Structure formats: structure tokens, C-alpha cells
Chains A and B, each alone.
Chain A
Amino acid sequence: GAGVSQSPSNKVTEKGKDVELRCDPISGHTALYWYRQSLGQGLEFLIYFQGNSAPDKSGLPSDRFSAERTGGSVSTLTIQRTQQEDSAVYLCASSLGTTYSYEQYFGPGTRLTVT
């Protein structure tokens, strides 16, 4: 079946502009996650959505970052007034969100470059 998809695959933007990154999770997955991965580094947790619960935003690095999840499916990560240090690959993942397994299925990521 279809996996997690993300768009765009690449985004180049000028410093100070806003960007929106989209994530389409696997159908039926109630949990959705956003991570940031800088070159050669591990994954940095950003935000977590689980069903209808309030999202866990504790990983967002600043108030320029926000995310929404509409209808329990598609999610959008918005970065306002982008800075060069925001350049990274932004990964989205989804999971069944059950106690049985926390296995997360990742999308291919969006590579963001801020010039």
C-alpha cells in the first residue's frame, strides 16, 4: 500500500520567507510525527500528534515553527521568517499509535535550503 508521502521533496527559499511542508500519513495511522535532520546528524523530534489529543509541541525549536493536522490525516509544518539554521531535511512519520508497537513509518523527507 501507499507509504508516507511528503511534499515538496526539495524547497529552496530566501531568508525571511515563510514555508509550508506537507505530510500525508499512511491511511489509518492515528499518530503523526515531525522530525528534523541536519546533515550527518540524528533525528531531532519536533512535534507529535495522536488522534484527537492536543499535540505534543515540546520539540519545536522556536515560535516560528508550527504544525497542524487536519481531520486526523494530512499535516502541515509551517516555518515563518525562515533562517539559515532552519536548513535541514524535515521528516514526517506515522504509526498505528497503539501500545503494541511504536514502529514509525517515515516519509522520504523534504530538504529545505534557506539562502
Chain B
Amino acid sequence: GESVGLHLPTLSVQEGDNSIINCAYSNSASDYFIWYKQESGKGPQFIIDIRSNMDKRQGQRVTVLLNKTVKHLSLQIAATQPGDSAVYFCAENRGLDNAGKSTFGDGTTLTVKP
């Protein structure tokens, strides 16, 4: 069946280093991907998205890379800060008809050490 999964459940980095969080998906029909950040006790918060017709998109300190050949996407955070400590989820959508049925991975917990 379809699934969206992350390679590592936890990631620990030093403050100021770059972080890379990976996600693999299995459904080749997926055409829209989103990264969310969830801090303790809060709902997920949108970080950045990318459509399947792109392979890279940049935001403020974050970059998402999409490799459709191997069904893999990653979230890169530059100069990681303590405030970046959270659980990060990737999610995939398959077209407008399924817009509400985002499939989420289990999340990667990012810990930033001062």
C-alpha cells in the first residue's frame, strides 16, 4: 500500500550546523508535498511545499529537494537554531480530488544542541 516514511525517527545536530531530514514516499502518483513542523503541545505548522514539476524550492533558511526518480524528498535547514527543535513531518497529496487526504509520515524529531 501507499506510505510516506522518514528515514530516521530522531536527529540531533549542533546549533549553527545544517540539518537534513529525509522522507521517502511510495506512491508515484503523488504530485504535491509539504513539510510541517510540530512543536510540543501544538498542531503542525506549514514550513514549505513543492509540486512534482519542481525538484527544488527554497524558503527562508529551508530548502526542499524532490527526487521523483527514487521517490525521495528532503528538508534542509541552514544554520539550525534551538527554536528549530521540533518534530518534522512530510506529507503527500495526489491531486485536487484528494486534496484533503494528505498522507503523513511518522515524523523526525530534531534536537538542536546549544
From A45, A49, A99, B96 is in contact (CB under 8 Å) with A99
A35 to B91, CA, bound (A): 13
Q: A43-B89, A109-B43 given as contacts; is B49 within 8 A of A101 (CB)?
A: yes
Decide if A71 is an interface residue (CB 8 Å cutoff). Answer: no
Report the minimal beta-carbon distance from B51 to chain A, rounded to whole angstroms.
10
Contact flags (1/0) for A30-65 with B, using CB distance below 8 Å? 010101000011111100111000001011000000
Does the CB pair B46–A59 fall under 8 Å?
A: no
A86 to B104, CA, bound (A): 19
Decide if A20 is an interface residue (CB 8 Å cutoff). Answer: no
Contact size class for A? 20 to 34
Decide if A26 is an interface residue (CB 8 Å cutoff). Answer: no
Contact flags (1/0) for B25-63 with A, using CB distance below 8 Å? 000000010100000011111100100000000000000
Decide if B93 is an interface residue (CB 8 Å cutoff). Answer: yes
A40 to B96, CA, bound (A): 29
Decide if A93 is an interface residue (CB 8 Å cutoff). Answer: yes
From B49, B101, B105, A48 is in contact (CB under 8 Å) with B101
A107 to B45, CA, bound (A): 9
Does the CB pair B44–A43 fall under 8 Å?
A: yes
Does the CB pair A42–B104 fall under 8 Å?
A: yes
